[in-house]
């Protein structure tokens, strides 16, 4: 489902694609323009979809929704990126033991709490597909996720986002990475770059209404948001315009938070969102272990 582009266009990108955009905005604290990363990554020329599955381990209908998300990931592979974001005290906050069930892990994050507040999430399960309006809303029931995803994937992308020169130092528990934004067409408007840290295959408690014994002690939580490298809404990466063929890059050094259990199960998810609408225009995932 990738868009075919004439070879002459790729030849042009080969000549100018590594240029740093003139007068780039350098975010305070979190990143800097990086001209040292030379890793070559093939361009991805169609849009991927970011599915944010807002969930909680005491939400008894959330496991069914998470299976919908996993099914879309299994169907579309690299064209869909799934992130499980645990939110709302009523569904995700730790509680004292309930009938020998131990919901004592706090999967919530500062960024997830911000998203829940800003999106006015009041019930679960619910999701957002690239933060794009579908049938008049950014928040969608799991029954609408598939249709919303299919509207995005395969569309020509105005930009590609890449995570290059990745390294993880187990001694310092620090990840280093360069995020590139490459304009495939002229991009107009302010855009921000956001980078998530996720962890997969976390075994912990979950309530599942479909089970005779709904308190599941060994439930597998998938693609869980653990932190943000550069805040809930990230850093400015395009201000005004980015001309076709230009690239802007930001480098990051990030210490994994103490809630991470297995770094080998972690991934970075980078996306560029329109600053005004919050719609995610392109997204990419880079697993620690490929």
Task: Report strand pairing: 280-287 vs 202-207.
Answer: unpaired
Number of helices (H) and strands (E), helices first, in the chain?
Answer: 5, 15
C-alpha dist (Å) from residue 184 to 56, 189, 201, 242:
38, 15, 35, 10
Helix (H) or strand (E) holding 197: strand 191-199
- Residue 289's φ and ψ, nearest 5 degrees, are -115, 115
CA angle (12, 15, 20) in 5-degree steps? 110
> How do residues 110-122 score in pLDDT, each as one tens digit?
999 999 999 999 9
User: What is d(CA 280, CA 191) in angstroms, rounded to the nearest whole number?
Assistant: 9
Give the distance from CA 90 to its chain's centroid. Answer: 24
Distance of alpha carbon 61 from alpha carbon 125, whole angstroms: 7
What's the pLDDT at 16? Answer: 32
Residue 179's DSSP bridge partners are 163, 250
Planar angle of CA 121, 238, 5, nearest 5 degrees: 100
User: Is the pLDDT confidence value at 243 over 60?
Assistant: yes
Q: What is the pLDDT of residue 184?
A: 98
Domain residue extents for the chain: 7-287
Q: What is the pLDDT of residues 139-196, one digit of tens each?
A: 999 999 999 999 999 999 999 999 999 999 999 999 999 999 999 999 999 999 999 9
Residue 283: which of 199, 157, 150 has the closest Cα? 157
| pLDDT (tens digit per residue) in 14-54 | 333 333 333 333 333 344 445 589 999 999 999 999 999 99
Please give the CATH superfamily to which domain 7-287 belongs.
Answer: Immunoglobulins (2.60.40.10)
């Amino acid at each position: 489902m990738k868009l075919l582009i004439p070879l002459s266009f790729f030849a042009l990108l080969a000549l100018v694609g590594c240029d740093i955009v003139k007068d780039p905005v350098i975010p305070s604290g979190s990143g800097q323009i990086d001209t040292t990363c030379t890793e070559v990554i093939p361009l991805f020329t169609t849009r991927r979809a970011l599915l944010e599955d807002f969930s909680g381990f005491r939400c008894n209908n959330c496991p069914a929704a998470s299976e919908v998300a996993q099914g879309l990931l299994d169907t579309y592979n690299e064209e869909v990126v799934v992130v499980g974001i645990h939110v709302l005290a009523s569904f995700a906050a730790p509680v004292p033991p309930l009938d020998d069930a131990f919901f004592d892990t706090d999967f919530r994050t500062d960024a997830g709490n911000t998203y829940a507040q800003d999106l006015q999430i009041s019930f679960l399960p619910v999701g957002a597909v690239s933060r794009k309006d579908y049938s008049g809303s950014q928040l969608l029931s799991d029954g609408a996720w598939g249709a919303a995803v299919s509207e995005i994937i395969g569309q020509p992308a105005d930009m590609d986002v890449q995570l290059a020169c990745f390294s993880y130092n187990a001694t310092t528990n620090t990840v280093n990475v360069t995020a590139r934004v490459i304009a495939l067409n002229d991009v107009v408007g302010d855009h921000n770059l956001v980078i998530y840290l996720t962890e997969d295959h976390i075994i912990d408690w979950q309530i599942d209404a479909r089970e005779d014994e709904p308190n599941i002690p060994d439930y597998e939580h998938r693609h869980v948001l653990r932190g943000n490298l550069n805040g809930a809404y990230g850093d400015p990466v395009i201000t005004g315009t980015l001309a076709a063929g230009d690239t802007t890059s930001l480098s990051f050094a990030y210490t994994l938070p103490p809630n991470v259990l297995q770094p080998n199960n972690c991934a970075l998810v980078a996306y560029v969102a329109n600053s005004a609408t919050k719609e995610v225009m392109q997204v990419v995932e880079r697993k620690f272990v490929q």
